[in-house]
C-alpha cells in the first residue's frame, strides 16, 4: 500500500469527513446567525457526497495511510441515516482502519446513540461549552438547553460508547465555566478537552484578546485539582493530555493558537461536497467529487490524493501573522473543525 508524506515528512493518519454543511445550532464561534441566517444558501442534496462515494474515498485514504476517521459536519446527526454510513465505514477495519468516531453537538444524540453504537462507532465527541444554561444557550444561539445535551451523553454511555467532551473557551463568553465543567466531569469516565478559540474561517469575529490560552487554563484547573502530564497516544495527537494527581481522570487541552502543533499535523479533511483540505485554516480545497463522478478509477483517485498530500506545506498556526490572519479561509462548518 502507498504511504504518502508531505513536504515536512508528515504522513496521513487522520481523515475528517464532513457529511453536511448544515447545523441546528448557530454557535457564535462557528456559524454565527448573522451570516448563516434563514436566507443562507446551504448545499443542495445533489452536491453532497453520497454515502457510497464517501465510503469509496475513505477506503482510498485508508490505503494511503489513514488509521482514524472522524465523521463531522456541520452537525452530522442531521444527515439522514448517518448510522448507515457508520456501518459502511466500520467495514474498513479489515483494510487498516483502527478508530472510527464522530463529533456532535449532542442535540440528537439521545435518540441516535444506540444505533450509532450498533453500527460500529468506536467512540463519540460531544461539543458542550458550559453547564450554565444561560451561557450555553447564548453561545449556541438557538436556546438549546444543557439538560438535553447531558441526556445525550448519558445515552451514549449507556450504549457503551466512550465519550469525550469538547469545550471551546472564549473570553467574555464562557471562561467562568472552566472550573464548573472540570468538576462535573471529574470521575465520570468522560474526558473533557478545552479548546482555545481559533480563527477558523472569517465570520466568527476572532481576536487574540478573546483567547484563553493553555497556560491560563491549566493554572486555573491545577489550582483546584493538581495535574500531571500524560504522554501522547500517537505521534500527531492534537490534545496535550493531563491527569488529575488524585486519580479523578484526565483532561486535554487543544492549543492551536498558543502552542501550535503544525509540525506533527497528520489530518486530512474531506468536505461534504468532496473537496480535500490539508489544513483547517486553508483558503481552498481540491475537488475529488468531480473526478469521482466523471468515472476516475481508484488508481487515478489515489494518485490525486497522493499528489495533493505530497505537495502539502501547511503551517498556518506556526506562521500566524496579521497578513495570514486577514485572508479568506474556509468556514469550520464546511470541514468540521
pLDDT computed for residue 210 by the predictor: 93
Q: By the 8 A CB rule, do 158 and 42 touch?
A: no
Domain 14-335, CATH = 3.20.20.70
Q: Please tell me the pTM assigned to this model.
A: 0.94
Mean of pLDDT values over 258-264? 89
Query: Shortest CA distance to 284 belongs to which of 330, 245, 319?
Result: 330
Give per-residue pLDDT as tens, 74-103. 999 999 999 999 999 999 999 999 999 999
d(CA 304, CA 299): 9
pLDDT above 80 (res 139): yes
Percent of residues, the chain, with pLDDT higher than 90: 82
pLDDT at 325 over 70: no
Q: Could you give the CA distance from residue 277 to residue 286 in angstroms, rounded to a whole number?
A: 7
Q: Report the alpha-carbon distance of residue 327 to residue 197 in Å, rounded.
A: 18
Q: Give the pLDDT of residue 50.
A: 98
Cβ neighbours of residue 310 under 8 Å, at least 6 residues apart? 4, 5, 6, 7
Residues pairing with 267 in the sheet: 14
| Residue 336: pLDDT band with limits 50, 70, 90 | confident
pLDDT of residue 320: 66
Look at the block and give the residue holding cell 441526556. Answer: 151
Helices 82-90 and 109-118, packing angle to 10 deg:
30
The residues, ordered by sequence, that sit 6+ positions from 111 with a Cβ below 8 Å of its Cβ are 155
- Phi, psi for residue 70 in degrees, rounded to 5: -120, 125
Q: Is 169 helix (H, G, I), strand (E, B) or coil?
A: strand
Residue 324 scores a pLDDT above 60: no
The helix (H) or strand (E) run that includes residue 181 is helix 178-185
Helices (H), the chain: 51-63, 82-90, 109-118, 133-140, 146-158, 178-185, 214-224, 289-293, 298-310, 316-319, 322-325, 332-335
Max Cα separation, the chain?
59
Domain ranges of the chain: 14-335
What confidence tier does 323 reach under pLDDT thresholds 50, 70, 90? very low
Statement: residue 113 has pLDDT above 90: yes
Q: What is the pLDDT of residues 21-76, one digit of tens each?
A: 999 999 988 899 999 999 999 999 999 999 999 999 999 999 999 999 999 999 99
Scanning the structure block, which residue is given the C-alpha cell 465520570?
A: 188
For residue 65, CA distances in Å to 10, 104, 183, 205, 265 come to: 11, 25, 38, 36, 14
Reading the block at residue 103, the C-alpha cell is 463529533
Residues 286-321: tens digit of each pLDDT: 999 999 999 999 999 999 999 999 999 998 787 765
- Which candidate, 1, 10, 2, places its Cα nearest to that of 312? 10
pLDDT for 209 equals 86
> Is the bond leading into 311 cis (omega within 30 degrees of zero)?
no
Q: Which residues on neighbouring strands pair with residue 145, listed in sequence order? A: none
Report residue 200's pLDDT band, with 50, 70 and 90 as the boundaries.
confident
pLDDT of 119 over the 70 cut:
yes
Grid cell for residue 7? 513536504
pLDDT, averaged across the chain: 93
Measured distance CA(193)–CA(136) in Å, rounded = 16
* pLDDT, position 294: 98
pLDDT at 337 > cutoff 90: no
C-alpha cell at 180: 464548573
The position carrying cell 496579521 is: 322
Burial profile 44-62: b = 16 or more Cβ within 10 angstroms, e = fewer: eeeebbebeebbebbbbbb
* Residue 328: predicted pLDDT: 72
Q: Is the pLDDT of residue 258 over 50?
A: yes
Amino acid at each position: 500500500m502507498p504511504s504518502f508524506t508531505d513536504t515536512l515528512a508528515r504522513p496521513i493518519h487522520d481523515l475528517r469527513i464532513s457529511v453536511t454543511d448544515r447545523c441546528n445550532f448557530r454557535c457564535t464561534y462557528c456559524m454565527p446567525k448573522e451570516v448563516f441566517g434563514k436566507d443562507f444558501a446551504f448545499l443542495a442534496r445533489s452536491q453532497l457526497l453520497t454515502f457510497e462515494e464517501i465510503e469509496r474515498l475513505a477506503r482510498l485514504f485508508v490505503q494511503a495511510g489513514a488509521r482514524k476517521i472522524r465523521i463531522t459536519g456541520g452537525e452530522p446527526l442531521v444527515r439522514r441515516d448517518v448510522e448507515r454510513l457508520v456501518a459502511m465505514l466500520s467495514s474498513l477495519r479489515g483494510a487498516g482502519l483502527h478508530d472510527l468516531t464522530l463529533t456532535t453537538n449532542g442535540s440528537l444524540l439521545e435518540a441516535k446513540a444506540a444505533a450509532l453504537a450498533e453500527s460500529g462507532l468506536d467512540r463519540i465527541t460531544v461539543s458542550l461549552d458550559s453547564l450554565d444554561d444561560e451561557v450555553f444557550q447564548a453561545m449556541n444561539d438557538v436556546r438549546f438547553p444543557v439538560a438535553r445535551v447531558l441526556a445525550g451523553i448519558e445515552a451514549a454511555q449507556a450504549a457503551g460508547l466512550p465519550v469525550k467532551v469538547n469545550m471551546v473557551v472564549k473570553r467574555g463568553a464562557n471562561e467562568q465555566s472552566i472550573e464548573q465543567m472540570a468538576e462535573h466531569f471529574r470521575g465520570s469516565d468522560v474526558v473533557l478537552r478545552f479548546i482555545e478559540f481559533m480563527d477558523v474561517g472569517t465570520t466568527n469575529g476572532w481576536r487574540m484578546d478573546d483567547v484563553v490560552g493553555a497556560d491560563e487554563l491549566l493554572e486555573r484547573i491545577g489550582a483546584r485539582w493538581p495535574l500531571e502530564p500524560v504522554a501522547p497516544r500517537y505521534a500527531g495527537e492534537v490534545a496535550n493530555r493531563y491527569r488529575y494527581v488524585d486519580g479523578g481522570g484526565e483532561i486535554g487541552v487543544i492549543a492551536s493558537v498558543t502552542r501550535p502543533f503544525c509540525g506533527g499535523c497528520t489530518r486530512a479533511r474531506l468536505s461534504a461536497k468532496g473537496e480535500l483540505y490539508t489544513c483547517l485554516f486553508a483558503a481552498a480545497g481540491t475537488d475529488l467529487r468531480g473526478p469521482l463522478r466523471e468515472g476516475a478509477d481508484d488508481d487515478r483517485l489515489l494518485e490525486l490524493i497522493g499528489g495533493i498530500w505530497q505537495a502539502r506545506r501547511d503551517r498556518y498556526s506556526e506562521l500566524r501573522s496579521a497578513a495570514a490572519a486577514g485572508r479568506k479561509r474556509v468556514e469550520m462548518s464546511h470541514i468540521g473543525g
